[in-house]
Amino acid sequence: MVRILPMASSIRPSLSSFRSAAAAGPPSRFAAPFASPSHNSCRPLSLLHLGSAVPQSLSFGLKASKLLRGEGSSTAVSAAGNIAQASTAATEENVLEWVKKDKRRLLHVVYRVGDLDRTIKFYTECLGMKLLRKRDIPEERYTNAFLGYGPEDSHFVIELTYNYGVDKYDIGAGFGHFGIAVEDVTKTVDLIKAKGGKVTREPGPVKGGKTIIAFIEDPDGYKFELLERGPTPEPLCQVMLRVGDLERAINFYEKAYGMELLRTRDNAEYKYTVAMMGYGPEDKSAVIELTYNYGVSEYDKGNAYAQIAIGTDDVYKTAEAIRLSGGKITREPGPLPGINTKITACLDPDGWKTVFVDNIDFLKELE
């Protein structure tokens, strides 16, 4: 039985209520705080964890800093500590509140292919995409090609990466699929077949649901789900990634990335739950489809899929929010050598990479 829950911002089902007790042990309802050993987010212990009332007269100036060094009465030191703690908490809260107001959108998804021209031909002739631009970086021995259904300043697009001399990658088991919304799945599948494309799942209602879907594979073996929908400004509509703890992932994507939980869909018959996360409604903007398979806590990620890129107004605050949310920063915020675009990069609790790109710098790149 499938339950679909459109998400009102204040209503949120307990995911564990979806999972059949008969399944291989539903994950903890209260997933442990995100503290995977590979994501050490500890902050220096602070002397601020002291408990006592804070006299109003105490200003947090030079006097308080003396107290923080342990000079003065124990009560006064404790009071100063609490002011500092309150100040730190307020700063952290400000950063996390800022995330929700930051101007963010999914910019592109990046993955590696073995033959750029082969992929460009398939995406343009079979999937109706446009080649938007190419970028060759000979000093780094790679070429990018950007493809999509509209200009990069307003559409979620694909950034293909060809590394010189590398013609094959391991897609792994964690990457799921890209979603393409089409008005007629059967017609699209027939075109793909006529062009010699590989159809791995014929058109029909999704198992346990109603949406007409089909699955195809591109020349490198990446899966594309074709979803039958009406006209949409964003045909490239999904990136599906498998996660080992859905509650943990949802919490992180909300808190660190500022995404909204758009809906969840539990399919007990087929033992999986999906959560759609994004910055806008599914029928108008691309989403990250997080998929949890009952009882599966981690996946081999291979070396083919790279990352999602998200726009932000401040990569420095973004990095701070990611740290505060327990994420691991893998590239400190700052300008890229040579092109000066400011970015920061991180891993989510499952190890999926995300790059945040300064919005103004991104638009300059497109000029």
Ligand X SMILES: C[C@@H](O)C(=O)SC[C@H](NC(=O)CC[C@H](N)C(=O)O)C(=O)NCC(=O)O
Kindly state whether residue 266 participates in binding ligand X, applying the rule CB under 6 A: no
Nearest distance, CB of residue 327 and ligand X, angstroms: 24
Q: Which of residues 170-199 bind Zn ion (CB under 5 A)?
A: 179
Kindly state whether residue 201 participates in binding ligand X, applying the rule CB under 6 A: yes
Asked if 227 contacts 215 with a C-beta cutoff of 8 angstroms, the reply is no
Q: Which of residues 314-353 bind ligand X (CB under 6 A)?
A: none
Which of 338, 285, 330 is closest to 311 using CA atoms? Answer: 285
Q: Determine whether the annotation assigns residue 367 to a binding site.
A: no
Kindly state whether residue 274 participates in binding ligand X, applying the rule CB under 6 A: yes
Stretch that binds Zn ion, among 18-26, 235-243, 323-331, 339-347 (CB under 5 A): 235-243
Question: Could you write out the three-class secondary structure of 319-346?
Answer: HHHHHHCCCEEEEEEEECCCCCCEEEEE
Among 81, 176, 203, 326, binds ligand X (CB under 6 A): 176
Handedness of CA 177, 315, 135, 112 (dihedral sign): negative
Stretch that binds ligand X, among 6-14, 23-31, 150-158, 287-295 (CB under 6 A): 287-295
Q: Among 152, 225, 282, 320, which one carries the catalytic annotation?
A: 225
Task: Indicate the helix (H) or strand (E) that contains 2.
Answer: strand 2-6
Residue 135 vs 284, nearer CB to Zn ion: 284
Write the Ramachandran bin of 190: left for phi over 0, alpha for psi from -120 to 50, otherwise beta.
alpha
Residue 95 vs 239, nearer CB to ligand X: 239
Contacts of residues 257-261 at CB distance under 8 Å and 24 or more positions apart, as own/partner, are 257/99, 257/104, 257/310, 257/354, 258/99, 258/100, 258/102, 258/104, 258/321, 259/288, 260/7, 260/9, 261/7, 261/12
Kindly state whether residue 238 participates in binding ligand X, applying the rule CB under 6 A: yes
Among 225, 247, 282, 348, binds Zn ion (CB under 5 A): 225
Cα angle, residue 327 at apex, residues 326 and 331 outer, rounded to 5°: 140
Q: What is residue 140's DSSP assignment?
A: G
Kindly state whether residue 240 participates in binding Zn ion, applying the rule CB under 5 A: yes
Please confirm, yes or no, whether 225 is among the known catalytic residues. yes
Q: How many residues bind ligand X (CB under 6 A)?
A: 16
Q: Enumerate residues 6+ apart whose C-beta is below 8 A from 198.
A: 216, 217
Among 145, 206, 226, 261, binds ligand X (CB under 6 A): 206
Binding-site entries for Zn(2+): 159, 177, 225
Catalytic residues: 225
Chain residues in the site for Zn ion (CB under 5 A): 179, 225, 238, 240, 289
Chain residues in the site for ligand X (CB under 6 A): 176, 179, 201, 206-207, 225, 227, 238, 240, 242, 270, 272, 274, 289, 291, 293
